[in-house]
Chains A and B, each alone.
Chain A
Amino acid sequence: MAIASRPSPIAWLLAPALLLFVLFFVLPFGVMALMSFYSGNPATNSNAFLTTRHYERFVFDSAGIYHDALWATLRIGLITTIVSLLIGYPLAHWMARMQSRLGHALVLMAVIAPMLTGIVVRTFAWMTILQDKGVINTLLVDWGIVSKPLPLMYNEFGTVVALVHIYVPFMVLTLTGVIGRIDERLEQAARSLGAGRLRAFVEVTLPLSLPGILAGSLLVFALSISAYVTPSLMGGTDVLTLPMLIAQQVGTSFNPNFAGALGVVLLLVSLLIVIAYNRILARLSGEQGLA
């Protein structure tokens, strides 16, 4: 029928979302990708020519800076994800299994409240806690536990601490939803069949919450490898991540074309990881009959 071939009028409701997606993702990324293959800005410089030299610069990386930055980015992302998971999972489990509605609401508020403060503010708060004359070091030195301040920030440690603080809520919210949907009686059934509490958790709840673990980890990983403010403020001169390098290329070196190439590399790496994650998730879900 003729009607069937025409799109449903409801399809127009997708238009705003589509417009948003095109304007804020496809277009900027297209420009960035295009720029990364030019020697200069073709809009203002008529001598600009097509080239792959920015990618060659990254791949051959004579000084080793770029590879180090990529590796540092992934390492910080991975550690942040693991720590967020270790902190977030017990919290999410506790929340999901809480009987009292009031208690649940209070914990939820406690989890979400930090998100109401800007990332910059929260990062500065960590600086007052972790720096050499910060709360922790002052106390430790005063009590004579250490003779000189511990290096708590201007390194990867401080970066990870602040990132974990910022991204744990994402992990908790993702996990709470998934764990909350697992029937408590499954664990009880396991216990009645002879499994202790821990064994019942490992055999039943943990495998059933894998989709949440993977989704939460993916979210936190993606957010932390693209973080700029926190690594810049907390990392000092010790830490150089790809987003920082990109900002440097744009702001200090005035080389947006190389910045574009780095952006494409970061996106490709993220994309690869997302695809790998989805594959693992699909396989596990298939095995568990959850798909």
Chain B
Amino acid sequence: MTSATIKLDNVTKTFDGRVLAVDGVTLDIAAGEFFSLLGPSGCGKTTSLRMIAGFELPDSGRVHVAGRDITDLPVHKRDMGMVFQSYALFPHRTVAENVAFGLRMREVPKPDIARRVKAALAQVALTGLEDRKPGQLSGGQQQRVALARALVVEPPVLLCDEPLGALDRKLRQQMQFELKELQKRLGVTLVFVTHDQEEALAMSDRIAVMNHGKVEQVGAPTEIYERPRTRFVADFIGEINILEEGGRARALRPEKIRLVSDGARVSGTVDTANFLGGSTLLRVSIADGRSLLVRETHAGERASRLPGDAVGLAWNDADAVTLES
């Protein structure tokens, strides 16, 4: 399967002439990359995706795919696969007919359609369900049909709008693995919209964190997590402590703080201790009414800090990331 680069060049989109949904977004997505657009609802991630798909026209700026300007190309000529949050399977057609749809539109000969539909369904482990209607499938199965339907036409680009949002936690995790594995195997460029930071961190090669229609930061998951550039990114991804030091804000992850008896930078009292399974998240009150989050990982036995315990806290200076104001 071929893959293509995607380039958004200073793209802007307003709705009803007032609401600025996407505000000067520039993105360079490499061929074969798993690229996530991450942000809270209303941050412009879905609108950005829909502009790549062609459902929305940018007010200004251009969209390039594989080096070609496709800003004015209608949706059906863009040759992209799309998986919707609600799956958008055709309820009046069987699983096989759903998957065959894109091939039929491309006027692929009938025997080829049958062969490719079979292969696509095998790829997502749905063999044997060809004649069911979408309404007779579970959420996870519908999700796979949607994936097979989008991928059977071998698009160079696959767009996913919160495709795992409707699945329960366990199934979502399983599909995360499967989707990522499938994407790597096919080598397709995948743009993935999500508001779930864990999902984005787990699956992506790179993430663009968006807020209020703007891209706050683009980077690999570790980079986004370890070296957030803005307060918004630091706050949105995982738990964070923001320290104000000399007029500058610094971000410190709870797991970078150690509980020590000697050489503490600050000392405080444990407020609450939330047991999270693999770790415990402590909220520790320090001076002047402020508090810090501290993550204590359990290697072997469970930690035994209780609310009310006095603790000393320490961290390395290098772990506190200075944020842009």
Contact = CB atoms under 8 A, between A and B. Distances in A.
Nearest to B136: A289
A182 to B, nearest CB: 9
Interface string B88-107: 11111000000001100110
B225 interface: no
Interface residues of B, number: 30
Contacts of A289: 91-92, 133-136
Name the interface size band of chain A. 20 to 34
Contacts of B136: 289
Contact of B74 (A186, A196, A288): A196
Interface string A200-220: 100110011000000000000
Given A192-B80, A200-B76, 13 more contacts: A186-B88, A186-B90, A189-B89, A191-B75, A193-B101, A193-B102, A193-B149, A194-B102, A195-B105, A196-B76, A197-B76, A199-B76, A289-B134
A287 B92 contact: yes
B92 A208 contact: yes
A83 B150 CA distance: 39
Contacts of B84: 185, 188-189
A190 interface: yes
A41 B197 CA distance: 83
16 contacts: A185-B84, A188-B55, A188-B75, A189-B88, A191-B55, A192-B53, A192-B76, A192-B159, A193-B102, A193-B153, A194-B77, A194-B153, A195-B76, A196-B76, A203-B90, A289-B134
Given A183-B86, A185-B86, A289-B133, A190 B101 contact: yes
Contacts of A197: 76
B209 interface: no
B133 A194 contact: no
B324 to A, nearest CB: 37
Contacts of A31: none
Q: Ordered nearest first, which 8 A-B pairs have the shortest CB separation?
A: A194-B105, A288-B92, A193-B102, A289-B133, A189-B88, A192-B82, A185-B88, A191-B75
B92 A192 contact: no
A195 B78 CA distance: 11
Interface of A: prevailing SS:
helix
The listed residue with most B CB atoms (<10 A of its CB), out of A186, A194, A204, is A194
Nearest to A200: B76
A196 B77 CA distance: 8
Interface of A: 183, 185-186, 188-197, 199-200, 203-204, 207-208, 287-290
A204 B78 CA distance: 20
Nearest to B77: A194
B259 to A, nearest CB: 50
Nearest to A194: B105
A193 B77 CA distance: 9
Contact of B91 (A191, A195, A208): A208
B213 interface: no
A290 B92 contact: yes
Nearest to A195: B105
Contacts of B159: 192
A287 B133 CA distance: 10
B206 to A, nearest CB: 23
B79 interface: yes
Contacts of B102: 193-194
A45 to B, nearest CB: 59
Given A192-B53, A192-B81, A288 B91 contact: yes
A185 B50 CA distance: 12
Contacts of A204: 90
Nearest to B161: A185
A150 B205 CA distance: 73
B152 to A, nearest CB: 9
Contacts of A194: 76-77, 79, 102, 105-106, 153
Contacts of A203: 90, 101
A234 B141 CA distance: 58
Contacts of A195: 76, 101, 105
A23 B149 CA distance: 56
B133 to A, nearest CB: 4
A193 B80 CA distance: 7
Contact of B92 (A185, A191, A193, A207): A207
